[in-house]
């Protein structure tokens, strides 16, 4: 028996929603990065699901790219986070508002 | 193709500026190069004046190259009897500006001369452009170096003055840009001034575009009540900036009236002339009265410019030969005289670092040669017959009086007031007891300063005793303009005609 | 001689002083105390050349030439040119002769002055301008040199510029003259606009043709007030003359002008420049003749000024100011003569006045020189024996001023009185006024003589030691002027056939003027007798007040204290002008136009535009929190909104 496409899409939507809410509500940059990862993975789930559903490998290929980009992004993000922490001793976004108008 | 003397004159300063910008010469070399470049421009412009044919009314030394033909934009330059004098005035005053800045400008010398030369190029471009887009480009280009000149090398309140100057002028020129586009649309998809001069624009177009241009030009002149940038800008600008502002920049507004407003919109000109005459009268009398009570030397001369430029617009909008030629003459003369007065104030400011009248008094004793020049230019400024100021003023008054006697009578009061404020100022600066003992040791003008002032002094006397050479240059062009306005039978536009919907 | 040679000779008359000015003005640093070696020969040569011109004009040769076109714009075409007729010839002689003497006198008077070269430069420039003024052949050229002499006056009054009072006086002179020239200038504009020319002869013809034209003065205001065009032109021109010739109420600058060196007062503020107004009215007489009301105005202003200035002259204590008020008064006589159509007499009086008043000023200068700068007559007295040459010449000048028979002033002033008597009802009133003026004139002239030269010395002891007669370079001009102050009147002897040589000489210029029917010789004789008696009476009263009964003046002054103070303060004219015009103008300009209209209204608006923009930006910038999450939230909200709209539409 196969899991219906709609279920997988629902899962993806839920993960995406959690990611967005986390991104909008949390102030800790580490958690933000994790939320970002959730959003990306929600997209990945979608891609894999449609790839399976359409019997095409294109979606899986893109997922591999996405994972690579996400890894790179996490590395850069964590590097900025570390640099910020070393300079400011904080990872709280409320205390980092350099671009305030 | 003929020798492109106009382009050459216009771009020599720009090329010089670029050279100075990229080749980092030392300060002394920068000054000498700047002087050489401005002298070259002067020589070319004098050469051009020598070859100018005063009998021909049309544009001369015309250069016409394609630029953006799909948009009707061309690179077209040329001068007629109205603009040629301003080209020479510009090159003369720039040389003197370089000379007077020799020791006065001490910081960012290279950048200063770059700005000065770019301004010169742009001003020459404004007076010789015969394509509206080209004209607009030059008009705006000049703004930026001038803004920098006031803002960087100016007096204590320079930033306020620079921003005020910039915003005032920009507000005006934006309206002019809209006007230019409307002309393009209604004038046969071209920006060529000569072609647009042949077009008879419909009443609403004339009415609204005249107003749009009027705002831009009135700010530049400056006419009352958009004059308040002038006292601040003149006062805060460095000497060279004040000379350029008073000598040439503010003439561009009146030049615009003559080049565009009168010949392109004759009906609108007739419609608005009475109001403009009224504004000019206000400028003359109000400007003179406010000048009377100034305590700052530069501010005093700046306000007197408002009054004197009132005579220019008065003459132009008297719409008769004497008035218009008098207005042009008054512009040239005001450029010479006020330029000289700002040079003089700059020279004394360099020694005492004060612009307050009360910081002086009795200095004629310690600086007799300076005092002689000062008195000469003051007398020219108050319109003493025999010196150049009188010629323009009298012709303007004649034109105004012919148009409307009461206007002539009121304008005449400006002449009494001019004598009062200028002589009273002279008395408090040069004469009376020496109130500040430190002024006892003031150094009189040196050779360089003498050479700076001498050409203007010679012009003041020459154009006063024998103004006909200058007047004869403009006869043909002004006659043609008058003939065109008469042939057109300009009639006032009613509000109903002007309403575009 | 060919015409061009004659023209060249005539042109040399003004050109020589101009050249002297240029040399001394540009190279004053080198000429320094030798400056007079440039200026004096130039002016004396001009005088000699003027004699040749006079000879030519006497033999009936007039000159009229245009030199070059000055301003040409459309129909407006003015040239610089010269015109020589009998009137010009008389003026040339007067100007060059007095100027030569003053130049020579100045060598002594200005000796050691640090502005020596500058002084001679300006003096020469003045001579040039004044000569060109009388040589002009059109109104605009006249106006140019009219202003130029005003400029020289300004520069010379302010010669000792580091004195506050001198600088004030110079500025005042220029500005008050400008007020008069406001009228003159308007007159020129009106003439050109209505008659289309500024050339003398053409203006005269045009004015004649336009006699019946009127101008509605109140038209711009909707009212109606018709004034004859010619009357208006004449009155506007006369306004200029009032300024230059210090007539009521524009006389205020002349007494203050005494701050200048005394030779300047003699040359400019007595003999020549201030008479330019009289010259102008005489020159323009064909215009004035066309308007009886303008003529009456000229006569009344002249007569009024004559008596008014004389009253002030009675009580002043500065030797130069007394003479200055006397000048204002005498100029009034000249205008009175012009106003009744006696132009020839006006010019005659102008000439004699130039000599005797020049003499009085130079004499006063000699006194001041002797006393090392003292000008207050209360601190003089008894100088008769110490400076005898000055005394004698001053006495001759005073006798001439007072109108004692056989002295020059007698002939010219008396002729004015006589002509006034026969010039209708108004003339007869003015005759009375002028006669009273003559009484006052004789009185103040001899008040000066007695207070300065007679009686006990009131000098400060240390000043008394230094009293010395002036050097010959100063006294010789005095003697020459003294001779002229006596004999120059003899060219206009009345009653005797052929006695009125100057009137005859000027006849061609004033030929258009209606002649007064020859009056009864006996009546005329009696009139002369009356004025002689009046003059002698004035002298006798002065004699009583200041010689025989020195207590009298104080008694009179304390009897009418208000009147005395009114005269002493010059009828409060300066104060009234200051209070009514100067102060309000400055107040309005400073307190309203500048600090309110410019700063509080226009600039406030401009700055307001700026600050409104800034405030708007200040509130709007709050949405830039600097928090990426907030921006992301906006994106999400926007997305939700779009979705909601899409769903609703669906």
Please name the member of B164, B325, B402 whose beta carbon is closest to the beta carbon of C606: B164
Q: Residue B486 above 60 pLDDT?
A: yes
* Burial tier of B46 (Cβ tally within 10 Å: 0-12, 13-18, 19+): middle
A21 part of contact set with chain C, CB < 8 Å = no
DSSP secondary structure letters along C102-146 = HHHHHHHHTTT-TTHHHHHHHHHHHHHHHHHHHH-SBHHHHHHHH
Q: DSSP letter at C511? A: T
pLDDT in the model for residue C497: 66
Between C550 and C282, whose confidence is greater?
C282
pLDDT in the model for residue C125: 92
Asked if B344 and B301 count as a contact pair (C-beta separation under 8 A), the reply is: no
Which of the residue ranges B156-170, B358-372, B479-493, C102-116 would you say has the lowest mean pLDDT?
B479-493
Does the distance separating the beta carbons of A24 and C622 come in below 8 Å? no
C497 part of contact set with chain A, CB < 8 Å = no
Domain of A16, in residue numbers: 5-91
Q: Residue C457 above 90 pLDDT?
A: no
A74 part of contact set with chain C, CB < 8 Å = no
Does the distance separating the beta carbons of C185 and B397 come in below 8 Å? yes
Q: How far, in Å, CA of C330 to CA of C357, rounded?
A: 9
Q: Which H/E stretch holds residue C355?
A: helix C343-370
Most B-contacting residue of C21, C27, C29, C74 (CB-CB within 10 A), to test interface:
C74
Q: How far, in Å, CA of C390 to CA of C479, rounded?
A: 9
Closest Cα in chain A to C637: A24
Please count the other Cβ atoms lying within 10 Å of the Cβ belonging to residue C125: 24
Q: How confident is the model at residue B91 (pLDDT cuts 50, 70, 90)?
A: very high
pLDDT in the model for residue C2: 72
Residues 6+ apart with CB under 8 A from A99: C624, C626
Asked if B156 and B202 count as a contact pair (C-beta separation under 8 A), the reply is: no
Q: Is residue A62 part of a domain?
A: yes
Q: How far, in Å, CA of B263 to CA of C449, rounded?
A: 72
Q: How far, in Å, CA of C477 to CA of C102, rounded?
A: 7
Q: How confident is the model at residue B192 (pLDDT cuts 50, 70, 90)?
A: confident
Q: Residue B463 above 70 pLDDT?
A: yes
A-C Cβ pairs (cutoff 8 Å, strict): 30
Q: Write down the residue that tokens 């001023």 correspond to.
A: C401
User: Is the peptide bond prior to C249 cis by the omega test (within 30 degrees of 0)?
Assistant: yes
Does the distance separating the beta carbons of A93 and C628 come in below 8 Å? yes
Please compute Rg for chain A using Cα positions.
17
Q: Is residue A98 part of a domain?
A: no
Q: Residue A101 above 70 pLDDT?
A: no
Which chain A residues are Cβ-neighbours of C627 within 8 angstroms? Answer: 93-94, 97, 100
Closest Cα in chain A to C633: A24
Q: How confident is the model at residue B308 (pLDDT cuts 50, 70, 90)?
A: very high
Q: Provide the angle, in degrees to the nearest 10, between the axes of the packed helices B84-104 and B468-488.
A: 130
Q: How confident is the model at residue A19 (pLDDT cuts 50, 70, 90)?
A: very high
pLDDT in the model for residue C115: 85
Q: How confident is the model at residue B172 (pLDDT cuts 50, 70, 90)?
A: confident
- The candidate with the shortest Cα–Cα distance to B482, out of B154, B61, B151, B57, is B57
Q: How far, in Å, CA of C242 to CA of C154, rounded?
A: 17
Average pLDDT estimate for C16-26: 89
Asked if C242 and C277 count as a contact pair (C-beta separation under 8 A), the reply is: yes
Report residue C435 as tokens: 């006669």
DSSP secondary structure letters along C154-170 = HHHHGGGTTSHHHHHHH
Asked if B253 and B222 count as a contact pair (C-beta separation under 8 A), the reply is: yes
Please count the other Cβ atoms lying within 10 Å of the Cβ belonging to residue B432: 22
pLDDT in the model for residue B117: 92
Chains A and C physically touch (3 or more Cβ atom pairs below 8 Å): yes
Average pLDDT estimate for B141-164: 88
Candidate ranges B438-447, C146-155, C415-424; pick with highest mean pLDDT: C146-155
Q: How far, in Å, CA of C98 to CA of C472, rounded?
A: 17
Q: Which H/E stretch holds residue B23?
A: none
Q: How far, in Å, CA of B431 to CA of C164, rounded?
A: 8
Total structural domains in chain A?
1
Please name the member of C624, C625, C633 whose beta carbon is closest to the beta carbon of A24: C633
Does the distance separating the beta carbons of C629 and A24 come in below 8 Å? yes
Please name the member of C625, C632, C633 whose beta carbon is closest to the beta carbon of A100: C625
Q: Is residue A99 part of a domain?
A: no
B437 part of contact set with chain C, CB < 8 Å = no
Most C-contacting residue of A18, A21, A24 (CB-CB within 10 A), to test interface:
A24
Report residue B123 as tokens: 């001003």
pLDDT in the model for residue C218: 72
Between C373 and C326, whose confidence is greater?
C326
Closest Cα in chain A to C630: A24
User: Is the peptide bond prior to B90 cis by the omega test (within 30 degrees of 0)?
Assistant: no
Which chain A residues are Cβ-neighbours of C622 within 8 angstroms? Answer: 101
Q: How confident is the model at residue A1 (pLDDT cuts 50, 70, 90)?
A: low
Q: How confident is the model at residue B151 (pLDDT cuts 50, 70, 90)?
A: confident
The distance of Cα C545 from the centroid of its chain, to the nearest Å, equals 33
Q: Tell which B residues from 173 to 232 touch C, by Cβ distance under 8 Å.
A: 225, 227-229
Q: How far, in Å, CA of B337 to CA of B463, rounded?
A: 11
Please name the member of A23, A100, A101 whose beta carbon is closest to the beta carbon of C629: A23
Print the SS3 string covering A3-48: CCHHHHHHHHHHHHHHHHHHHHHCCEHHHHHHHHHHHHHHHHHHHH
Phi-psi region of A89 (alpha: psi -120 to 50; beta: other; left: phi over 0): left
Asked if C87 and C338 count as a contact pair (C-beta separation under 8 A), the reply is: no
- Mean pLDDT for chain C? 85
- The candidate with the shortest Cα–Cα distance to B326, out of B315, B314, B337, B313, is B315
User: Which residues are B192's β-sheet partners?
Assistant: B131
Between B277 and C608, whose confidence is greater?
B277
Q: Is residue A84 part of a domain?
A: yes
CA angle C460, C464, C470 (to 5 degrees): 130
Q: Please write the tens of the pLDDT for every residue from C433-454.
A: 988 899 889 988 888 888 888 8
pLDDT in the model for residue B307: 92
pLDDT in the model for residue C301: 92
Which chain B residues are Cβ-neighbours of C606 within 8 angstroms? Answer: 164, 168, 228-229
- Mean pLDDT for chain B? 88
Does the distance separating the beta carbons of B385 and C186 come in below 8 Å? no
pLDDT in the model for residue C516: 59
Q: Is residue A96 part of a domain?
A: no
pLDDT in the model for residue A63: 93
Closest Cα in chain C to A101: C624
Closest Cα in chain B to C593: B290
Closest Cα in chain C to B325: C73
CA angle C481, C487, C492 (to 5 degrees): 130
CA angle C121, C125, C131 (to 5 degrees): 145
Q: How confident is the model at residue C498 (pLDDT cuts 50, 70, 90)?
A: low
Please name the member of B384, B391, B430 whose beta carbon is closest to the beta carbon of C71: B391
pLDDT in the model for residue B1: 47
- The candidate with the shortest Cα–Cα distance to B475, out of B153, B59, B145, B80, is B80
Chains B and C physically touch (3 or more Cβ atom pairs below 8 Å): yes
Candidate ranges A15-19, C1-5, C627-631; pick with highest mean pLDDT: A15-19
Which of the residue ranges B151-160, B206-215, C259-268, C582-591 would you say has the lowest mean pLDDT?
C582-591
Q: Is residue A40 part of a domain?
A: yes
Report residue C315 as tokens: 């009580």
A99 part of contact set with chain C, CB < 8 Å = yes
DSSP secondary structure letters along B194-243 = HHHHH----HHHHHHHHHHHHHHHHHHTTPTTS-THHHHHHHHS-HHHHH
Asked if C38 and C120 count as a contact pair (C-beta separation under 8 A), the reply is: yes
Closest Cα in chain C to B403: C193
Q: Which H/E stretch holds residue B257?
A: none
Average pLDDT estimate for B453-466: 92
pTM: 0.86
C625 part of contact set with chain A, CB < 8 Å = yes
Which chain B residues are Cβ-neighbours of C186 within 8 angstroms? Answer: 401, 408-409, 412
Asked if B338 and B247 count as a contact pair (C-beta separation under 8 A), the reply is: yes
DSSP secondary structure letters along C260-318 = S-HHHHHIIIIISGGGHHHHHHHHTHHHHHT-HHHHHHHHHHHHHHHHHHHHHHTT--B
Q: How far, in Å, CA of C356 to CA of C396, rounded?
A: 8
Does the distance separating the beta carbons of A20 and C636 come in below 8 Å? yes
Q: How far, in Å, CA of C57 to CA of C438, rounded?
A: 34
Average pLDDT estimate for B459-467: 91
Does the distance separating the beta carbons of B416 and C162 come in below 8 Å? no
Which chain A residues are Cβ-neighbours of C625 within 8 angstroms? Answer: 97, 100-101
- The candidate with the shortest Cα–Cα distance to C194, out of B483, B321, B413, B398, is B398
What CATH number corresponds to the domain at position A29? 1.10.287.3510
Closest Cα in chain A to C624: A101
Cα distances (angstroms) measured from residue A88 to each of A95, B169, C626: 9, 47, 17
Q: How far, in Å, CA of B82 to CA of B332, rounded?
A: 11
Q: How far, in Å, CA of C250 to CA of C241, rounded?
A: 10
CB neighbour burial string for C182-212, b if at least 16 within 10 angstroms, e if fewer: bbbbbbbbbbbebbebbbbeebbebbeebee
Q: Is residue A97 part of a domain?
A: no
Does the distance separating the beta carbons of A94 and C625 come in below 8 Å? no
C-alpha dihedral sign at C491, C494, C499, C504: positive
Asked if B88 and B127 count as a contact pair (C-beta separation under 8 A), the reply is: no
């Amino acid at each position: 028996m196969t899991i219906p496409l709609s279920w997988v899409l629902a899962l993806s939507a839920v993960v995406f929603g959690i990611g967005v809410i986390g991104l909008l509500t949390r102030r800790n940059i580490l958690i933000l990065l994790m939320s970002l990862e959730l959003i990306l993975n929600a997209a990945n789930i979608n891609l894999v699901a449609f790839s399976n559903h359409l019997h095409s490998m294109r979606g899986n290929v893109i997922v591999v790219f996405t994972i690579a980009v996400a890894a790179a992004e996490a590395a850069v993000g964590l590097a900025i986070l570390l640099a910020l922490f070393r300079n400011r001793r904080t990872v709280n976004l409320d205390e980092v508002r350099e671009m305030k108008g | 193709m003929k020798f492109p003397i106009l382009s050459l004159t216009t771009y020599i300063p720009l090329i010089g500026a670029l050279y100075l910008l990229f080749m980092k010469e030392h300060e002394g070399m920068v000054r000498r190069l700047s002087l050489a470049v401005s002298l070259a421009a002067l020589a070319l412009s004098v050469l051009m004046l020598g070859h100018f044919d005063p009998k021909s009314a049309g544009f001369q030394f015309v250069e016409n190259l394609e630029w953006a033909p799909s948009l009707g934009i061309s690179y077209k330059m040329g001068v007629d009897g109205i603009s040629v004098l301003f080209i020479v005035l510009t090159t003369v005053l720039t040389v003197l500006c370089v000379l007077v800045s020799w020791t006065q400008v001490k910081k960012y010398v290279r950048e200063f001369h770059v700005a000065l030369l770019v301004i010169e190029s742009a001003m020459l471009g404004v007076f010789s452009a015969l394509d509206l887009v080209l004209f607009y480009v030059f008009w705006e280009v000049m703004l930026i170096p001038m803004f920098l000149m006031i803002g960087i090398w100016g007096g204590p309140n320079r930033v306020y003055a620079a921003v005020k100057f910039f915003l005032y002028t920009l507000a005006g020129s934006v309206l002019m840009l809209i006007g230019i586009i409307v002309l393009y649309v209604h004038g046969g998809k071209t920006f060529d001034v000569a072609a647009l001069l042949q077009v008879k624009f419909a009443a609403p177009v004339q009415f609204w575009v005249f107003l749009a241009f009027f705002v831009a030009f009135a700010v530049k002149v400056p006419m009352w009540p958009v004059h308040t940038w002038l006292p601040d800008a003149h006062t805060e600008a460095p000497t060279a900036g004040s000379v350029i502002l008073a000598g040439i920049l503010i003439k561009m507004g009146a030049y615009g009236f003559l080049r565009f407003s009168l010949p392109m919109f004759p009906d609108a000109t007739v419609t608005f002339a009475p109001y403009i005459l009224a504004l000019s009268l206000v400028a003359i009398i109000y400007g003179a009265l406010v000048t009377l009570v100034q305590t700052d030397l530069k501010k005093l001369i700046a306000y007197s410019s408002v009054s004197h430029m009132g005579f220019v617009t008065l003459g132009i909008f008297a719409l008769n030969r004497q008035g218009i030629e008098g207005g042009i003459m008054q512009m040239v003369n005001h450029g010479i005289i006020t330029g000289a007065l700002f040079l003089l104030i700059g020279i004394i400011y360099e020694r005492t670092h004060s612009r307050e009248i009360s910081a002086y008094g009795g200095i004629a004793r310690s600086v007799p040669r300076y005092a002689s020049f000062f008195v000469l230019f003051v007398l020219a400024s108050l319109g003493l017959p025999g010196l150049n100021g009188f010629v323009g003023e009298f012709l303007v008054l004649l034109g105004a009086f012919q148009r409307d006697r009461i206007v002539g009578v009121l304008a005449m009061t400006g002449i009494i007031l001019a004598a009062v404020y200028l002589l009273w100022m002279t008395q408090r600066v040069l004469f009376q007891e020496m109130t500040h003992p430190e002024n006892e040791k003031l150094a009189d003008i040196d050779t360089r300063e003498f050479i700076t002032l001498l050409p203007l002094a010679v012009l003041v006397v020459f154009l006063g005793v024998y103004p006909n050479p200058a007047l004869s240059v403009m006869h043909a062009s002004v006659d043609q303009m008058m003939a065109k306005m008469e042939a057109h039978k300009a009639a006032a536009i009613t509000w109903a005609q002007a309403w575009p919907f | 001689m060919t015409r061009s040679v004659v023209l060249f000779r005539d042109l040399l008359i003004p050109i020589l002083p101009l050249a002297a000015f240029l040399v001394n003005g540009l190279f004053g640093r080198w000429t320094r105390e030798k400056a007079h070696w440039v200026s004096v020969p130039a002016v004396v040569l001009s005088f000699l050349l003027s004699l040749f011109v006079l000879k030519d004009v006497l033999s009936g040769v007039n000159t009229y030439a245009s030199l070059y076109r000055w301003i040409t714009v459309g129909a407006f075409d003015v040239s610089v040119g010269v015109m020589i007729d009998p009137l010009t010839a008389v003026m040339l002689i007067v100007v060059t002769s007095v100027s030569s003497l003053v130049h020579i006198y100045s060598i002594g008077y200005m000796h050691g002055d640090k502005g020596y070269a500058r002084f001679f430069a300006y003096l020469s420039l003045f001579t040039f301008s004044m000569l060109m003024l009388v040589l002009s052949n059109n109104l605009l050229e006249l106006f140019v040199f009219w202003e130029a002499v005003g400029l020289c006056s300004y520069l010379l009054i302010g010669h000792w510029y580091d004195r506050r009072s001198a600088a004030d006086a110079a500025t005042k002179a220029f500005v008050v003259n400008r007020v008069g020239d406001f009228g003159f200038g308007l007159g020129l504009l009106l003439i050109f606009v209505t008659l289309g020319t500024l050339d003398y002869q053409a203006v005269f013809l045009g004015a004649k043709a336009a006699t019946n034209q009127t101008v509605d003065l109140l038209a711009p205001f909707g009212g109606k007030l018709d004034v004859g065009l010619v009357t208006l032109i004449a009155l506007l021109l006369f306004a200029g003359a009032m300024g230059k010739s210090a007539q009521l109420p524009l006389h205020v600058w002349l007494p203050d002008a005494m701050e200048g060196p005394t030779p300047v007062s003699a040359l400019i503020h007595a003999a020549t420049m201030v008479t330019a107004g009289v010259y102008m009215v005489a020159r323009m007489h064909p215009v004035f003749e066309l308007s009886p009301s303008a003529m009456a105005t000229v006569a009344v202003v002249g007569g009024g000024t004559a008596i008014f200035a004389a009253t002030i002259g009675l009580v002043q204590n500065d030797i130069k100011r007394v003479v200055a008020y006397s000048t204002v008064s005498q100029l009034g006589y000249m205008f009175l003569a012009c106003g009744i159509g006696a132009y020839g007499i006006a010019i005659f009086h102008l000439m004699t006045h130039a000599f005797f008043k020049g003499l009085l000023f130079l004499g006063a200068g000699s006194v001041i020189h002797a006393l090392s700068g003292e000008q207050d007559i209360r601190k003089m007295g008894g100088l008769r024996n110490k400076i005898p040459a000055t005394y004698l010449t001053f006495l001759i000048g005073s006798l001439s001023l007072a109108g004692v028979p056989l002295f020059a002033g007698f002939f010219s002033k008396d002729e004015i009185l006589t002509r006034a008597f026969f010039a209708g009802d108004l003339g007869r009133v003015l005759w009375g006024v002028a006669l009273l003026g003559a009484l006052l004139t004789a009185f103040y002239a001899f008040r000066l003589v007695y207070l300065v030269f007679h009686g006990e010395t009131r000098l400060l002891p240390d000043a008394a030691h230094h009293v010395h007669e002036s050097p010959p370079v100063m006294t010789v001009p005095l003697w020459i002027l003294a001779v002229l102050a006596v004999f120059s009147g003899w060219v206009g002897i009345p009653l005797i056939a052929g006695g009125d040589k100057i009137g005859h000489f000027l006849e061609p210029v004033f030929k258009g003027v209606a002649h007064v029917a020859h009056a009864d010789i006996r009546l005329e004789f009696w009139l002369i007798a009356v004025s002689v008696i009046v003059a002698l009476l004035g002298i006798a009263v002065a004699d009583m007040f200041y010689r025989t009964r020195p207590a009298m003046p104080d008694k009179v002054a304390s009897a009418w204290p208000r009147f005395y103070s009114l005269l002493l303060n010059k009828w409060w004219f300066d104060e009234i002008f200051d209070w009514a015009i100067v102060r309000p103008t400055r107040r309005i300009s400073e307190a309203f136009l500048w600090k309110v209209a410019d700063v509080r209204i226009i600039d406030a608006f401009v700055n307001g535009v700026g600050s409104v923009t800034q405030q708007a930006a200040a509130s709007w910038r709050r949405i830039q929190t600097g928090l990426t999450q907030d921006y992301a939230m906006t994106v999400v909200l926007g997305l939700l909104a779009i979705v909601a709209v899409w769903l609703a539409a669906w």
